Amino acid sequence: MKIFAIAALSLAALSVAGCASLPPSQMSYADPALTPAATGVVAKDMADKAARLVPPAKTTLVVSPTKQDQEALSVVVNEALRKKGFAVQDLLPPKPGEKAVPVKGVPFLYQITADERFILARFELTNRLLARAYGYSADKSSIAASGPWSNMELPK
């Protein structure tokens, strides 16, 4: 009987904790291994491309949050979007027991990943997925785009 009670309490705790955050597929990601300088280059490039897709002065981007250990890099991304002219609103998960509040704006979800050879930036905006790779310089002091943005239309 004790095992059943412990299992029931554990399940209840997990279900409450699950309500307090968004699923990983709805969260942005910035690799903690990236430097703020490298993140800044990628973020500026993403903001420039986003400005070609939607008008910055008329658009509020609702940015999906990152995990707490990536917060410093998400600030860099949000600042690049603001400098380009976008209004930026963070998407906040509903508190336990509360309903999600409808958000007005255009959803913006991004992932920036890195390894020792390259950086991959992806973002979703207006039912499009855009991706671009960046290469490191020989001494790894700077990065540069390795090619154009790839653009895939997502199903509605």
Which residue ranges make up each domain of the chain? 24-151
The answer to whether the CB of 61 falls within 8 A of the CB of 81 is: yes
SS3 sequence, the chain? CHHHHHHHHHHHHHHHHHHCCCCHHHCCEECCCCCHHHHHHHHHHHHHHHHHHCCHHHCEEEECCCCHHHHHHHHHHHHHHHHHCCEEEECCCCCCCCCCCCCCCEEEEEEEEECCCEEEEEEEECCEEEEEEEEECCCCCCEEECCCCEEEECCC
What's the pLDDT at 70?
Answer: 80
Residue 25: CA atoms inside 13 Å, Cβ hemisphere, count?
Answer: 0
Confidence of residue 22 (pLDDT cuts 50, 70, 90): low
pLDDT digits (tens, 9 = 90+) for 67-97: 877 888 889 999 999 999 999 998 877 778 8
What's the pLDDT at 104?
Answer: 86
pLDDT digits (tens, 9 = 90+) for 104-155: 899 999 999 999 889 999 999 999 999 999 999 988 889 999 999 999 999 8
Backbone angles phi, psi at 106, to 5 degrees: -100, 120
Confidence of residue 66 (pLDDT cuts 50, 70, 90): confident
Q: Is the pLDDT of residue 16 over 50?
A: no
Which tokens in the block code for residue 71?
Answer: 């917060």
What's the pLDDT at 106?
Answer: 93
31 or 19, higher pLDDT: 31
What's the pLDDT at 25?
Answer: 62
44: Cβ contacts below 8 Å, ≥ 6 apart: 80, 83
